[in-house]
Chain A
Amino acid sequence: MIFAIPLAWLQLIREKVRLLVALAGIGFAVILMFIQLGFRDALFDSSVRLHKALEGDIFMMSPQSTALIALDSFSRRRLFQAEGVPGVESITPIYISFALWKNPADRSTRSIQVMGYDPSQSIVSNDLLPDSEALKLRDHVLFDRDSRPEFGPVAELFEEQGYVTTEVAGRRVTVGGLFNLGASFGADGNLVTSDINFLRMFDRDPGLIDMGMIRLQPGANVDQAIAQMRKEIQEPNGDVLVLSKDEFIAFERDYWQNSTAIGFIFNLGAGIGWIVGMVIVYQILYTDVADHLAEYATLKAMGYRNRYLLSVVFQEAVVLSILGFIPAFFLCMVLYNATENATSLPLHMTQERGTLVFCLTMSMCVISGAIAVRKVQEADPADIF
């Protein structure tokens, strides 16, 4: 039966103040969920930012490595072996380590991630790292302009003077250029340098590398190459892990998701937002039903079915969830933007998260509705006569 009069809607807009309070409450819950899930995803995204930027098809790392911040080194020889596999175009050994960086402005120190590789090859796209020419010079490094501000106004100084000198790992270095990668939860800032400069900074065995990047010729079969490398290098020696780019990204993400408390904490935060929202919507709907109890009983006396009244409550729940979601969604985009500017973390509204939070909001409202409709059963027309 189609009812000409949208009772649910009319009842909601009749009490404007209550509606606004309800929408503010739902909006609060929506924002809480968006922020928590946004931070969680930003963390995971930031942790694989380097992995995504690296322009390789196949990656090699030590099976002892658990994440970028906990890398174990392996023999460079394994990577050279991979060069013999058909389809391989080039290989790039990469050294990664953390060192203390001295802020050129206030001389404070902070741990920074340093990557060393052969500068005659490029490892990331030109958009991110346009000019690596300076790396060919002794003790020259490139600085990530998206590093956290605690490392000092390096980008500004560089643009002013054309170079910045400071100390890394107790060694005097010159910043000869800038690139864009961004901070992650694991590394607050990044430096890249040549393999030779890296070995000067860190007293290490040049034969032990932290990561190997392999590029294939255009049109080569990636799966086949990986299978062959696993068979010929990984399995007989057992001291390296061969991963496709997707697996390499998933490996890092998996560490942050499952081996740290972070995923759980943010999910819990979002869950609390959901429950808070549910309580708010329940309170609103319950009060609404209680206020209209005599009216609902009248409708029952007129011959309206219980089902009609239940549908009124559920319609109110759905309308509330939609009306509460929309302004909160746009407010969140603003908040994301502000947070991104403040933290250098990649915080964006994605369609996936938008859909997820919308579904959560809807379920929150409908469940509250389901609890609140029990009150409708109390509207007994025999009592109002």
Chain B
Amino acid sequence: MTSATEPIISIDHVSHYFGSGRLRKQVLCEVSARVDPGEVVILMGPSGSGKTTLLTLIGALRSTQEGSLKLLGEEMYKARNKQLVRLRRNIGYIFQAHNLLNALTARQNVQMSLDLHPNLTTKEKKIRSLEMLEAVGLLDWANYYPQELSGGQKQRVAIARALVSSPRVVLADEPTAALDKQSGRDVVEIMQRLARQRGSAVLLVTHDNRILDVADRILQMEDGRLSTLPREQLIGLS
């Protein structure tokens, strides 16, 4: 689909509105950006600045209202729901809350992501899920249920789930928000390392100044507008 030089995400003059009529409110204002394969990009900004909305647009959870947004070369401007659902399968999501399925074990949670790719046998899926849990250091916890795991462990299972199908893009929305300093750090490093190994691009939304050094590039969002900040300046701030 995409050549090596083509960006994985390309955003061109995207605007987005919520509500209608007099209540219509603009949340994104002519946003333009690109993310290349293998890049780790952090998106920062105060709450309400529109970064989560941008992430839901990139994640094919909403269709684009205005401007052009291409994911893996596919245009998502006014995309149909069916196309969005298909595109989502190429994206690994990591949420602020881990959002694991409580009725499933860690291994089964990871495997749910592989079940969407029917060209694997059940055994292969199981092996790959276990390998992925090993990669996040949770092989011994494969048969535990989410409520038996700590916050950091759950978030690592969520990372395993997001990455097991080797997605081209990983989107993470404040993955460290609910974690203490050390587990937050671990989670981000695992994410960065695995994404690098697989050549996935990572777009990370965060408030957390402690993890900015993992990024290749930092984007700053304010009032629906995007600006690039020099990385060194922000790290200096933290």
Contacts and interface: CB of A to CB of B under 8 A. Distances in A.
A304 B85 CA distance: 7
Nearest to A15: B103
A305 B61 CA distance: 12
A5 B88 contact: no
B97 interface: yes
A305 B101 CA distance: 16
A305 B85 contact: yes
A383 to B, nearest CB: 9
A301 B52 CA distance: 14
Interface stretch (A100-108, A252-260, A292-300, A332-340): A292-300
Contact of B61 (A1, A4, A295, A301): A301
B184 interface: no
B122 A4 contact: yes
Interface residues of B, number: 33
B68 to A, nearest CB: 20
A11 interface: yes
Interface string B89-126: 10101011101111110001001110110100010010
Given A14-B103, A304-B116, A385-B95, A4 B88 contact: no
B45 interface: no
B200 to A, nearest CB: 15
A128 interface: no
Contact of B99 (A3, A11, A295, A304): A295
A384 B56 CA distance: 10
B173 A303 contact: no
Contact of A382 (B56, B86, B102): B56
Contacts of A11: 103
A300 B85 CA distance: 8
A298 B157 CA distance: 14
Interface residues of A, number: 25
A285 to B, nearest CB: 15
B86 A10 contact: no
Contact of A5 (B62, B108, B173): B108
Nearest to A380: B61
Contact of B112 (A297, A300, A302): A302
Interface in B62-97: 62, 85-89, 91, 93, 95-97
Question: Of A10, A299, A303, which is in contact with the most chain B CB atoms at under 10 Å from its CB?
Answer: A303
A381 interface: yes
Contacts of A53: none
A303 B122 contact: no
A359 interface: no
A10 B99 contact: no
B61 A5 contact: no
Interface in A335-385: 381-382, 384-385
A70 interface: no
A301 B104 contact: no
B93 A301 contact: yes
B86 A385 contact: no
A301 B59 contact: yes
B108 A303 contact: no
A305 B81 CA distance: 10
B215 interface: no
Given A298-B99, A302-B88, A303-B88, A5 B93 contact: no
Contacts of A301: 59, 61, 88, 93
Interface string A274-305: 00000000000000000010110111111111
A7 interface: yes
B52 A5 contact: no
Given A5-B104, A385-B173, A303 B95 contact: no
Contacts of B88: 300-303
B55 interface: yes
A1 B61 CA distance: 22
Nearest to A296: B101
Contacts of B62: 382
Interface in A1-59: 1-5, 7, 10-11, 14
B23 to A, nearest CB: 18
Contact of A303 (B85, B97, B101): B85
B158 to A, nearest CB: 9
A5 B111 contact: yes
A385 B108 contact: no
B116 A4 contact: no
Nearest to A14: B103
A7 B104 contact: yes
Interface in B129-145: none
Contacts of B93: 298, 301-302
Contacts of B100: 295
A10 B105 CA distance: 10
B144 to A, nearest CB: 13
Contacts of B91: 303
21 contacts: A2-B118, A4-B111, A5-B104, A5-B111, A7-B101, A7-B104, A7-B112, A10-B103, A292-B101, A299-B101, A301-B88, A301-B93, A302-B93, A302-B116, A303-B86, A303-B89, A305-B85, A382-B56, A384-B99, A385-B59, A385-B61
Interface of B: 52, 55-56, 59, 61-62, 85-89, 91, 93, 95-97, 99-104, 108, 111-113, 115-116, 118, 122, 125, 161, 173
The 4 closest A-B pairs by CB, nearest first: A303-B89, A303-B88, A14-B103, A298-B99
Given A11-B103, A294-B99, A385-B59, 8 more contacts: A2-B118, A5-B115, A294-B97, A301-B93, A302-B89, A303-B85, A303-B87, A381-B61
